[in-house]
Homo-oligomer: A and B are copies of this chain.
Amino acid sequence: MVESIDNTIKYISLKKISNPLGDVWHAIKSSDSEYVGFGEAYFSFIEKGKIKGWKKHKKATLNLVVPVGEIKFFAFDEDQEDKNSKLSSFTLSEENYFRLTIPSGIWLAFKGLKERNMLLNVSDYSHDPSEVEAIEIENFPINLND
């Protein structure tokens, strides 16, 4: 199932395969249309009530999955002409098990909602500070605590 929110961000339901010994949960395959190459896979934890961001990747596409806890993602597309469609949000969790694909050029922040929250990011670039722009939460034009 592909749910295209717009031409860029994708929010896709992932399969969980039940097994009495322990389930298997899909993350991403090379045959998925959102897969654009492999640079790095890493985990990022986010404490309850805390927000990481804002960051914008100039080159990298992020593929985000949340197998532990619950994380709310905020995506800000500064190139959208319609002010109301600049900001979108997506909540991923163990229960609401989706993959969120964030293309380059989109600002991203995310907030931890449970006691322990962890995302997997499969990106087509390895960590490279030169391809990342960052703006502190308090200096960003959007206030997430409103």
Which A residues have a C-beta under 8 Å from some C-beta of B?
19-31, 35, 37-47, 50-52, 67-68, 112, 117-118, 120, 122, 126-127
Contact = CB atoms under 8 A, between A and B. Distances in A.
Contacts of A117: 22
Contact of A45 (B23, B42, B45, B51): B23
A52 B21 CA distance: 7
B52 A126 contact: no
**Most central of A23, A37, A43 by chain B CB within 10 Å:** A43
A52 B17 CA distance: 14
Sorted nearest first, the 5 A-B pairs with minimum C-beta distance are: A22-B45, A38-B38, A22-B46, A27-B41, A25-B43
B28 A40 contact: yes
Contacts of A39: 29-30
Given A41-B120, A43-B67, A126 B22 contact: no
Contacts of A26: 42
A122 B41 contact: yes
19 contacts: A21-B52, A22-B47, A22-B50, A22-B112, A23-B44, A24-B42, A24-B44, A25-B42, A25-B43, A25-B44, A25-B45, A27-B41, A29-B39, A29-B126, A30-B39, A35-B38, A37-B38, A41-B122, A120-B120
